[in-house]
Homo-oligomer: A and B are copies of this chain.
């Protein structure tokens, strides 16, 4: 609650902030690679002593979470056209673009053990596009798994946002989910209903999801094959 003069402060010396730490870390990783991002190195880059960072970030894990949060939060959110396939496509390509912009983002994102708020928001909005397009909750559920594995590697831990045994945060999240992420909540409810054996936790049959995605791809390829599909790359003549 400081911010010396609101806007355009000179910010001499250090004057860190969580945002500056996160942005600094992102820039550092963009330039030097994520593997050489260290608390010490980042501190030096920011003209500060290493321990100063810990006033804005609980530890390195939190730093990485924050970096992902920023990147995912920057995913372009275009207005929908109402055609679900187009809108979904656009949204996913936007995510892909943001992740490609930071080469380290995908690996870091996949190394997180639970979803950050921005990730959940993104997934929720994507889910909403399918549902708005009239797809069943069931089908939407499975295609989210399929796509999720593609956009980033969450897959089986979509709804298992409780890494170890943090039952308190789990309950907090269960209560907060429906009102904040309505579309995800709808899917989670349906999945829990279909498989009552796991009232808490994923409620998803990982093997089923994997095979669903696999068969979707194989059947799609089969169709293309039957149609004598060809990619017709730009440098190739289309006469053949």
Chain A contacts to B: CB under 8 angstroms: 85, 88-89, 92-93, 96, 106-107, 110-111, 134-136, 138-139, 142-143, 146-147, 149-150, 153, 194-197, 205, 208, 210-222, 224-225, 228-231, 233, 235-236
Q: Are B138 and A210 in contact (CB under 8 A)?
A: no
CB-CB < 8 A to A218: which residues of B? 85, 88-89
**A214, B134: Cα distance in complex, Å:** 19
In the complex, given contacts A89-B214, A143-B221, A216-B224, what are 15 additional A-B residue pairs having Cβ atoms less than 8 angstroms apart? Answer: A89-B215, A89-B218, A93-B210, A93-B211, A136-B228, A139-B221, A139-B230, A139-B231, A142-B231, A149-B150, A150-B213, A150-B214, A194-B235, A194-B236, A219-B220
Say what secondary structure dominates the interface of chain A. helix
Q: Once bound together, how far apart are the Cα atoms of A96 and B235, in whole Å?
A: 36
- The 4 tightest CB contacts between A and B, nearest first, are A216-B220, A220-B220, A194-B233, A143-B221
| Bound form: Cα–Cα A146–B197 in Å | 33
Q: Nearest residue in B to A228 (C-beta to C-beta)?
A: B136
Give A138 to B229 CA distance when docked, in angstroms.
9
Knowing A134-B225, A139-B225, A225-B135, say if A110 contacts B236 (CB, 8 Å).
Answer: no
B235 close to A135 (CB less than 8 A): no
Chain B residue with Cβ nearest A141: B231
